[in-house]
Amino acid sequence: MAEQQSLIWLGVQFLMLLLIPAGVICLQRVSTKVLVKRSFHLHAATGVIGTPLHELSHFIACVVFGMRVLKVKLYSPDPHTGLLGYVQFAYKPNSLVHMVGLLVQGIAPVVMGYSIISFLLPTTSSEIDLPFRSASTPYELGINAAWSVTVGAFVSGEWAGCVTGLLALVIGLHAVPSVSDLKLALRGGVCVLLVLTAFGLISQVEVPASVPAAPIFRLLQVKIFAWGCIGLDMATEAVTMICCIASLSTLLLQILPSVLVGVLGRIRRLSEPAGANMCGSVSSSTTFEPFRKSPPSPETIDGETGRVDPG
């Protein structure tokens, strides 16, 4: 009974790995569509570091899993589409390796962002009250890590801490998978979920003790279950940390600046003499219309034939 409950919990964690980023993406898309159009250049500036890392993670995933790269733009801001960069690649839909690669594609930005923030950015000496004093679950550990690397870095009183906190914000902002990333992850995730389900069923098989290989099979069952738990816990903590940082970054680096630009523009228009803008002139500022036309999609479609690579 306990093992069945554990398997259910593993399934819930696997679903949350997709649902948590989806929620943050919805927040970012709303802020981008409604507010960031007022300050696209600031939005693009936040991607100078984060966007190349995001796209580089996709490129590395393509190379590792043998998927053919068609085109790479690590950083190419387009104010008309909202696109900051992309990677086009092709994959074989009947290849199990490529299916696993699609799932990795979806979480690659999170892995890249988490690795850099957790292991490469210098830590500060600040001791702050964490949201969870005795964190035990991956979600609590992820929230504490996000709080420490951002709020903790800023209140450390060290200039290096402020730089570290700002880097964590701009990296975390662009480390969340995009909508197209999640679509790829879902395609590969279904296949991987079936494989995990098969392993889960294998772990429930009772082998009679009279079978010579019973001890080895049982040991393998325990190892598969333990590795699965450890892997999902690590992934859950990483996704939670990145999504918390990205949510804070969206508020501080996208929503608040956009609102400020809008308020200042409103004040400026109200302060102008009546009829000053009635001469048919138009604003020279760049308009950001992310849904006016389809951007060069980071497609899994073969750019030469218009079809996915045949198996």
Confidence of residue 55 (pLDDT cuts 50, 70, 90): very high
Radius of gyration of the chain (CA): 23
Q: Give the least confident one: 2-11, 87-96, 100-109, 187-196.
A: 2-11
pLDDT, average across residues 85-103: 86
The residue among 298, 181, 168 whose CA lies nearest residue 246 is: 168
The more confident residue out of 132 and 24 is: 132
Question: Is 139 a domain residue?
Answer: yes
297-309 pLDDT, tens digit each: 444 333 332 234 4
Question: Is 125 a domain residue?
Answer: yes
Question: Is 172 a domain residue?
Answer: yes
pLDDT of the residue at 15: 65
pLDDT, average across residues 121-128: 70
> 86: exposed, middle or buried (C-beta count within 10 Å: 0-12, 13-18, 19+)?
buried
For 15-73, give the DSSP string: HHHHHHHHHHHHHHHHHHHHTGGG-HHHHHHHHHHHHHHHHHHHHHHHHHTTPEEEEEE
Question: Is 6 a domain residue?
Answer: no
**Which residue range forms the structural domain that includes residue 202?**
28-60+107-206+213-266
Confidence of residue 114 (pLDDT cuts 50, 70, 90): very high
104, pLDDT greater than 80:
yes
pLDDT > 90 in the chain, percent = 13
pLDDT of the residue at 285: 36
The C-alpha angle with vertex 117 and arms to 290 and 189, in degrees rounded to 5, equals 60
Question: Is 171 a domain residue?
Answer: yes
pLDDT of the residue at 140: 86
pLDDT of the residue at 262: 76
Burial of 144-156, coded b for 16+ CB within 10 Å and e otherwise, reads bbbbbbbbbbbeb
pLDDT of the residue at 286: 34
pLDDT, average across residues 91-105: 85
230-286 pLDDT, tens digit each: 877 888 888 889 988 988 988 888 888 877 877 887 888 888 775 555 444 333 333
Query: In this structure, are strands 86-90 and 68-73 parallel, antiparallel, or unpaired?
Result: antiparallel
The span from the CA of 262 to the CA of 130, in Å, is 34
Q: Which two tokens stand for residue 18?
A: 């997709």
For 131-157, give the DSSP string: S-TT--SHHHHHHHHHHIIIIIHHTTS
1, pLDDT greater than 60:
no
Question: Is 143 a domain residue?
Answer: yes
Question: Is 189 a domain residue?
Answer: yes
The residue among 295, 308, 284, 18 whose CA lies nearest residue 176 is: 18
* Locus of tokens 């523009």: 265
Please state, rounded to an integer, the average pLDDT across all residues of the chain.
Answer: 75
118, pLDDT greater than 80:
yes
The residue among 222, 242, 220 whose CA lies nearest residue 230 is: 222
pLDDT, average across residues 57-62: 93
The more confident residue out of 238 and 127 is: 238
Question: Is 116 a domain residue?
Answer: yes
pLDDT of the residue at 219: 73
12-36 pLDDT, tens digit each: 666 666 677 777 777 766 666 665 5
Report how many domains make up the chain: 1
pLDDT of the residue at 184: 79
Q: Give the least confident one: 52-56, 215-219, 236-240.
A: 215-219
